[in-house]
Structure 1
Amino acid sequence: MGFEERRETTSLGGVAGNGLERLCKIGWDGIRVAPTEAGIERIEANFQGNGFSAHRHDTYAIGVTLQGVQRFKYRGAERASCPGQVIVIHPDEVHDGGAGTETGLRYRMMYIPPEMIAEALGGKALPHVSTPVLTDPVFQRSLIEALQDLDSEMGDLRVSDLLAVLASCLNRFSDDARPVRQTLDWPVLKMCAEFIKEHAADPIASADLEAVSGLDRFALSRQFRAAFGTSPHRYLVMRRLEQVKSGLADGECLAAAATAGGFADQSHMSRHFKRAFGMSPGKWRQLNAASLA
C-alpha cells in the first residue's frame, strides 16, 4: 500500500535531445490531443490539483511523467510517478489522476487498443502489469520517441516498431505467466469489432453480434474480453464516446453530439463520458479549447 517506491533518479534532463526537456513551465490546465493514428491516441495534459475523477477506459494507457508528481489511485492504493517514470494502466481498471504537488503536473500519454498489443505478441493473452509505475530505460526511451512530436504523424513503420517494443516491454513486466489455454478466433473477433465501429450510433443487440460471429453470446463475450480487454457493450459505449469527442471538437453542442453518437439523450451521454474520461464533456471541451488557444 502507499506510494510507489522510486528505485533510481530519472529526470528529463537525462533524455536531452528528444525534445521533451523544453517543457519546463506549467502555467495552465489543458489537454492537447494529437490526431488519432492507426487507432492510437496521444495526448499531453497539464494540471494544477485534481485532473480526473475515477474512471476507466478500454485501452492500455501508457505514458511518461514530464514535470511534477503524477498521483493517482489504482487498485486500492495511492500511486505516484516522478519525471521520467513510466505509467501503465491496464484496460478497464478504475483510476483517477492529478498533480501531487502545488507546482502542478505535465505528462504525455498514449492510449493503445489492447488487440494491437495481443497481435504484436502473436495472439497471446494480454500482458497484465500489476505495478503501474515503472523505471525502465527501454520503456521510457520508446515512449519519448513516440510522444515527442504530437503535431506530426508517426507513420506506419514507426507505429509497427512502437507496438513491437511496447508489447515486449509489457510482456517483460507482466505478472501473469500462466499458459494460454483459450484459442481466440481473431478473424471473427475483428469482424465483430468492425461491425460495432461501423454501427456504433445504431442500436446493437447480442443477436446482431451472434449473426456476425457465428458464436453464441456467451462464447463471444468470453473471447471478446480476452482479445480486447473489455466487454462488447463497453467497447460499443467507448466507440460512441469517441464520436462524441469528435463532435465536440468540431463545435457541436452537447445535445447534438449525444444524438449523433447514439446516446438516448445528453444526460445519458454525460454520465458515460464522465465514467470513461473522469470529467464532464463540458470540461473536456473547455480544456481542449484552452490547449488549442
Structure 2
Amino acid sequence: MTANLVSNMQVYSRKKAADHSAANAVAGALDAPLERSCVEKDRIVIAPELAGIERIEARFHGKGFEPHRHDTYALGVTMAGIQTFRYRGEARFSLPGNVIVLHPDEMHDGGAGTDDGLTYRMMYIPPERFLPVTAKRGRTLPFVAAPVVADPRLARLLLEAIGSMDAAIEPLKLDEMVEEIAAALLDHAGVPQARRGRLARAEVLKACDFLRENLSQQVSSTELEAVTGLDRFTLARQFRQVLGTSPHRYLVMRRLEQAKGLIAAGESLAEAAFASGFADQAHLNRHFKKALGMTPGRFAALAGGRAR
C-alpha cells in the first residue's frame, strides 16, 4: 500500500468521524423544543434578548436575505438543507452540522441552495463581549478566514446556547459559553493556546465552597471573582484544569445532589426544585434527566418517595 493511499484513507476516516459527530450534534438539537418551528413554511423564530445577544431559528426556500451586514459576530449552525451565501466576494456553501462564522461589518446575503429549503440557527454576539477573553490572551478580536468550518464541539456549544430560546440562561453559564466560543474562534483564527501556568487549586476550592453555600441563589461571575481574586475567564480555565468541569456545571450538580436528597426524603418535586436553586420544576426536570438519565418522578418512585 503506497504512502499516498494510506494518507488519503486517513483523511477520509477523519472526515467521516467529523461528519458523524456533527450529525449527532444536529440530531440532538432537533430533539429540543425548537423542533416545532422546523416546518415547511418560511419563518423566523426570535428568542428573547439575552444580555445583548440575539438568537434566531430561520427556515427559507430560495433567497432569504439580500446583501446586508451586521455590527456583531454572526455565528450559527446549518440544521437542514444546503445554506448558500456570498461572503468576501465568493459563493459559500454549508451542509448540516457545519458552523457559520460571519465577522462584524462583512457584507453577505443568504438563502437555500436546493428546493428542499434551509433551516439554520444563528446567534449574534456583540464584539465587546469577546474583549475580556482576547485581552487576557493579549490578542485582538479573532478573524476566522473560512466562514464555514467543521467543528462539532463548537457546533454543540452554539446549539446549546441558541437552543435554549424558551428558557433563561443563568449569568454564570452565559459567561462560560461566551468564553468558550471566543476561545474556539481564536483557535480557528490560528491563535496559539496559552501556556498552562500554575494550578490555582486554593482559589478553585474557595469557589467550590462559595457555590455550595449558595445553591439556592443566582450566583454571578462577579461574586466568584471577589471570592477567589481571579477574573472569570482565568477561573473558568482553572476550574476545568483542576476539577475537569466548569463552575456552572459544578453548581448544577451540587443542586441536583441536594434535590435528590430532598426528593428521597419525601419532599414534592416543586419544593425540591425551589429549595435547590432551580427556577421551577421544569428546570429541575431538564437538568435531572440530562445528568442522571431519568426524571425526578421516576427517581422518587425508585427511592421510595412520592412524586407530587
Instruction: Provide the TM-score with structure 1 as the length reference.
Output: 0.54
What's the counterpart of residue 111 of structure 1?
124
- The answer as to 2:55 corresponding to 1:14 is no
Q: CA RMSD in A?
A: 2.3
Equivalent in 149, 165, 172 of residue 150 of structure 1: 165
Equivalent in 69, 79, 93 of residue 80 of structure 1: 93
Distance, in Å, in 1 between the alignment partners of 2:185 and 2:101 is 9
Cα shift at 1:138? 1.5
What's the counterpart of residue 167 of structure 1?
182
Cα shift at 1:14? 1.2
Alignment check: 8 A CA contact 1:59 1:91 kept: yes
Q: Could you report, residue by residue, the CA deviation over 1:186-226 in whole angstroms, capped at 9, with x for unpaired residues?
A: xxxxxxxxxxxxxxxxxxxxxxxxxxxxxxxxxxxxxxxxx
SS state at 1:96 partner? strand
Q: Which amino acid in 2 is paired with 1:18?
A: G
Q: Which has the larger radius of gyration?
A: 2
Structure 1: which 4+ aligned runs deviate by more than 6 Å? none
What's the counterpart of residue 103 of structure 2?
90
1:15-164 maps to which residues of 2 (within 5 A)?
15=25, 18-21=28-31, 23=35, 26-122=39-135, 124-164=139-179
Distance, in Å, in 2 between the alignment partners of 1:75 and 1:95 is 8
Q: Could you report, residue by residue, the CA deviation over 1:18-59 in whole angstroms, capped at 9, with x for unpaired residues?
A: 342574954111111101111111000010110000000100
Q: Could you report, residue by residue, the CA deviation over 1:218-256 in whole angstroms, capped at 9, with x for unpaired residues?
A: xxxxxxxxxxxxxxxxxxxxxxxxxxxxxxxxxxxxxxx
Which sections of structure 1, spanning at least 5 residues, go unmatched? 1-5, 178-293
SS state at 1:18 partner? helix
Distance, in Å, in 2 between the alignment partners of 1:69 and 1:122 is 36
Change (3 A) 1:13 1:130: closer
Alignment check: 8 A CA contact 1:52 1:97 kept: yes
SS state at 1:83 partner? coil
What's the counterpart of residue 287 of structure 2?
none
Which sections of structure 2, spanning at least 5 residues, go unmatched? 1-13, 193-308
Distance, in Å, in 2 between the alignment partners of 1:95 and 1:16 is 24
Change (3 A) 1:47 1:11: farther
Cα shift at 1:175? 5.1
SS state at 1:92 partner? coil
Cα shift at 1:67? 0.6
Cα shift at 1:77? 0.8
What's the counterpart of residue 227 of structure 2?
none
Alignment check: 8 A CA contact 1:20 1:144 kept: no
What's the counterpart of residue 299 of structure 2?
none
Identical amino acids, percent of aligned pairs: 46
* Aligned pairs, number: 172
Distance, in Å, in 1 between the alignment partners of 2:90 and 2:191 is 20
Larger helix fraction of residues = 2
Distance, in Å, in 1 between the alignment partners of 2:84 and 2:171 is 33
1:140-219 maps to which residues of 2 (within 5 A)?
140-174=155-189
Instruction: Provide the TM-score with structure 2 as the length reference.
Output: 0.52
